[in-house]
């Protein structure tokens, strides 16, 4: 009888252990994505193109018609955004300079298929293939904002031969980039809110736990995902009415948060084998195809950015003298959507800074 009781206790303990393990496994496993155009997924409403591996990317074309364009620009959106969040350049500037702009949903966002094997390299190759599918030519201009800004470094590494010029706007930085001094990384790290330090730490060290960390209720998760107003500078507060209430916002996360937001964090803050500090000037020995001279890499950052610390951009620009650095002293993170700022960025990219007025170093402010 006693043996039976002991056996029963062991059996119950084993069952409880298995049950706990099963429950834990279910909690840390993300739900399957709701892929557009598949059973149970949202409908496809965007124009899409098929990549060589079978995935689809949704895209949006703005500006002048592609076949009439003098300048072809690919824009890469940031975190929790989509193809509709392209640089808001004016119709007048697009017509004046002959600008065609292509924006697209990055994998897992809105209507682009997810890419569970996504890396910092794969997105650069996606961009090159997208450009080929839409026949943009051998070279094109590139601009990216926030998490899309970080992707610009990947494009400079993996597809530099395809680029006519690059604008990097408020780029996210990886605190574990090889060659980044510990004091620089530490300074930037402690400019984050504690809850964001934890979210980023988990994405880097325990990527398999990223889904659970950002969906559990025991600890505060990413304040960026939660749109915490504590992250807004004075200028960002004014711009948030434009950015925070976009009519298409429900589409951005419609496949589920893991393959867009969480995957962004896992890749952006993951373990890279290289860093921007190791890059060489891709335009050092090349002339731009449009006859305007060698291309440039422009790096823009707001000094009052409370979402992405400016200190990493400052350090990188000091170490890479071929990067043209623009620091906006009164701007926060959302400066690209400030009135008139997109035109300033595009003019600088396409024509050079000599074509900008002295007042163009700071975006106009709302009254």
In this predicted model, what pLDDT tens digit does every residue of 117-128 receive, in sequence order? 999 999 999 999
- Sign of the torsion formed by the C-alpha atoms of 287, 288, 291 and 292: negative
Q: How many CA atoms lie within 13 A of 216 on its CB side?
A: 14
Report which of residues 19 and 141 the model is more confident about. 141
Q: Which two tokens stand for residue 3?
A: 């043996």
Residue 29 — very low, low, confident or very high, per pLDDT cuts 50/70/90? confident
Residue 61 — very low, low, confident or very high, per pLDDT cuts 50/70/90? very high
Whether 140 is covered by a domain: the verdict is yes
Whether 98 is covered by a domain: the verdict is yes
Q: What is the pLDDT of residue 326?
A: 98
Q: What is the pLDDT of residue 354?
A: 74
- CA 350, CA 91: separation in Å to the nearest integer? 16
- CA 232, CA 197: separation in Å to the nearest integer? 17
Phi, psi of 269 (to 5 degrees): -110, 15
Q: What is the pLDDT of residue 10?
A: 52
Q: What is the pLDDT of residue 28?
A: 73
pTM for the complete prediction?
Answer: 0.90
Those residues with Cβ within 8 angstroms of residue 247's Cβ, 6 or more apart along the chain or in another chain: none
Average pLDDT estimate for 118-139: 97
Residue 166 — very low, low, confident or very high, per pLDDT cuts 50/70/90? very high
Residue 243 — very low, low, confident or very high, per pLDDT cuts 50/70/90? confident
pLDDT exceeds cutoff 60 at 131: yes
- Beta strand 323-328 with 297-302: parallel, antiparallel or unpaired? parallel
CB-neighbour burial class of residue 6 (10 A; exposed 0-12, middle 13-18, buried 19+): exposed
The number of folded domains in the chain is 1
Whether 43 is covered by a domain: the verdict is no
- CA 292, CA 281: separation in Å to the nearest integer? 17
- CA 104, CA 129: separation in Å to the nearest integer? 12
Which residues is 104 bridged to in the sheet?
A: 59, 76
Whether 204 is covered by a domain: the verdict is yes
Average pLDDT estimate for 5-23: 50
Average pLDDT estimate for 291-304: 84
Asked which of 10-14, 30-34, 275-279, 335-339 is least confident by mean pLDDT, the reply is 10-14
Residues of the domain holding 312: 48-351
- Sign of the torsion formed by the C-alpha atoms of 265, 115, 243 and 96: positive
Report which of residues 143 and 6 the model is more confident about. 143
Residue 194 in contact with residue 231, Cβ under 8 Å? no
pLDDT exceeds cutoff 90 at 19: no
Residue 40 — very low, low, confident or very high, per pLDDT cuts 50/70/90? very high
pLDDT exceeds cutoff 90 at 13: no
Whether 215 is covered by a domain: the verdict is yes
Q: What is the pLDDT of residue 5?
A: 47
CATH number of residue 73's parent domain: 3.40.50.1820
Q: What is the pLDDT of residue 230?
A: 93
Whether 88 is covered by a domain: the verdict is yes
- Sign of the torsion formed by the C-alpha atoms of 319, 322, 327 and 332: negative
pLDDT exceeds cutoff 80 at 294: no
Average pLDDT estimate for 89-118: 97
Whether 356 is covered by a domain: the verdict is no
CA angle 308, 225, 62 (to 5 degrees): 75
Average pLDDT estimate for 169-183: 97
Whether 15 is covered by a domain: the verdict is no
Q: What is the pLDDT of residues 188-216, one digit of tens each?
A: 999 999 999 999 999 999 999 999 999 98
Residue 219 — very low, low, confident or very high, per pLDDT cuts 50/70/90? confident
Residue 6 — very low, low, confident or very high, per pLDDT cuts 50/70/90? low
């Amino acid at each position: 009888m006693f043996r039976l009781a002991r056996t029963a206790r062991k059996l119950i303990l084993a069952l409880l252990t298995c049950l706990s393990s099963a429950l834990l496994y279910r909690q840390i496993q993300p739900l399957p994505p709701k892929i557009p155009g598949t059973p149970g997924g949202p409908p496809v409403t965007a124009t899409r193109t098929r990549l060589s591996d079978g995935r689809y990317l949704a895209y949006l074309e703005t500006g002048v018609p592609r076949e009439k364009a003098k300048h072809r620009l690919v824009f890469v959106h940031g975190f929790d955004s989509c193809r509709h969040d392209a640089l808001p350049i004016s119709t007048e500037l697009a017509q004046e300079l002959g600008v065609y702009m292509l924006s697209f949903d990055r994998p897992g966002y809105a209507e682009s298929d997810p890419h569970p094997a996504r890396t910092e390299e794969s997105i650069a190759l996606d961009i090159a293939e997208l450009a080929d599918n839409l026949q943009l030519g051998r070279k094109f201009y590139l601009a990216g904002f926030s998490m899309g800004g970080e992707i610009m470094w990947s494009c400079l590494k993996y597809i530099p031969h395809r680029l006519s010029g690059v604008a990097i706007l408020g780029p996210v930085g990886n605190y574990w980039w090889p060659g980044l001094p510990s004091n620089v990384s530490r300074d930037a790290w402690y400019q984050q809110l504690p809850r964001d330090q934890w979210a980023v730490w988990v994405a880097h060290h325990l990527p398999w736990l990223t889904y659970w960390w950002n969906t559990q209720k025991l600890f505060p998760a990413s304040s960026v995902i939660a749109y915490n107003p504590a992250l807004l500078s004075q200028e960002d507060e004014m711009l948030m009415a434009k950015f925070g209430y976009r009519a298409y916002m429900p589409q951005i996360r419609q496949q589920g948060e893991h393959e867009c937001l969480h995957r962004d964090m896992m890749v952006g803050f993951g373990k890279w084998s290289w860093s921007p500090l190791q890059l060489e000037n891709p335009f050092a020995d090349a002339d731009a195809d449009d006859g305007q001279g060698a291309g440039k890499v422009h790096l823009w950052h707001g000094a009052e950015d409370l979402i992405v610390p400016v200190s990493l951009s400052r350090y990188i620009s000091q170490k890479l003298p071929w990067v043209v650095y623009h620091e906006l002293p009164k701007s926060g993170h959302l400066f690209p959507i400030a009135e008139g700022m997109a035109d300033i960025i595009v003019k600088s990219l396409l024509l050079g800074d000599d074509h900008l007025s002295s007042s163009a170093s700071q975006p106009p402010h709302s009254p």
